[in-house]
Structure 1
Amino acid sequence: MLVQINTDKNIEGSSRLVEFFTTEINNELSRFDSLVTRVEVHVSDENANKTGKNDKKCVIEARIEKKQPIAVTAFADTTEKAFFEALGKVERTLDSALEKIKEH
């Protein structure tokens, strides 16, 4: 599974952040290795330099072989909280998709 991390100009996409997010995705979604070909993470700050509640946005898109991609979005006060919320959502969505595939 290929993991790609993207940040907007307001979020520093340091190698530490990329490595941390990539490791977490590989750990949490490892059971979907045969199903998911690529995971893209898009992290942004909706208010740029201003402070605001739930202004960090994380979109995770999981590309499934021979199926439409699955995309989820989460908002939170910090980049990490938004990421983990989105990761939980994508995991639940992939669980559901896997069940549907097994039924057929």
Structure 2
Amino acid sequence: MKIQSNTAKTVNGDKKSQSFFISRIVEELNLYQSYITRIEVHLSDENGKKEGENDLRCLLEARLKDRQPLAVSSQADTIELAVSGAIDMLKTALETTIGRMQNHHSQPSQNL
């Protein structure tokens, strides 16, 4: 599972922060790694340099094998909370998508 990180100019994107978020994503999504080819992380500040509530955004896009990509987004007051929220949303989306894939493959075909 490859992880690509993109950070807007107005967001602190130093190596230490990126390392922390990437390790957190790998840890939280490890269960799904056999289904995921790549995850793209986009961190941005919706208000630029202006102050505001819930203006930090994390968009996670999971590229799945033989499937359309899944994308989720979370906004919060801190990047940490935005990343955490996006991870939780992506886990839910992956559980639903993978569950459907498994149900589809495990149902016996009916010959009419």
Q: TM-score, normalised by structure 2?
A: 0.90
| 1:35 aligned residue | 35
Residue of structure 2 in register with 1:70 after alignment = 70
Query: How many residues matched?
Result: 104
TM-score, length-normalised on structure 1?
Answer: 0.97
**Structure 1, unpaired ranges of 5+:** none
Instruction: Identify unmatched segments of 5+ residues in structure 2.
Output: 105-112
Displacement after TM superposition at 1:48 (Å): 1.0
Which aligned segments of 4 or more residues in structure 1 are displaced greater than 2 angstroms? none
1:18 aligned residue? 18
Greater C-alpha Rg: 2
Q: Determine the C-alpha separation between the residues in 1 that align with 2:58 and 2:79.
A: 7
1:12 and 1:54 map into 2 onto residues whose CA distance is 16
Deviation at 1:12?
1.9
Q: In the TM superposition, what are the counterparts of 1:36-51 in structure 2 within 5 Å?
A: 36-51=36-51
Identity %: 39
Cα RMSD for the two superposed structures? 0.7
CA offsets 1:20-58 (integer angstroms, 9 cap, x no match): 011011101011111000001100001111110110011
